[in-house]
Amino acid sequence: MSTSFCEQITDKSLTVTERDILILIYEGKNVDRISNELGLSFLTVDFHLKNIIQKFMAMTLRMK
């Protein structure tokens, strides 16, 4: 994994779980596999993914 990617996702606006999920997505894992690895339900992982997307959209808008 790229060091710069890891540095970028240490942003304090993401929770620890959101960062863990984002790293696993970056590694190419799907939601089913992520839920198994982290011991979370599919719906919980999906919830966190939606939060990640919203936060990145907000960060992108702030940068403009």
29 HSE (CA, 13 A, CB side): 17
The pLDDT of residue 61 is 75
- Rounded Cα–Cα distance for residues 7 and 14 (Å): 12
CATH of the domain at 34: 1.10.10
- Rounded Cα–Cα distance for residues 5 and 25 (Å): 12
Number of domains in the chain: 1
pLDDT digits (tens, 9 = 90+) for 39-50: 999 999 999 999
The answer on pLDDT for 38 being more than 90 is: yes
pLDDT digits (tens, 9 = 90+) for 1-31: 454 555 555 557 889 999 999 999 999 999 9
- pLDDT class for 57, splitting at 50, 70, 90? confident
Q: Which domain holds residue 52?
A: 3-63
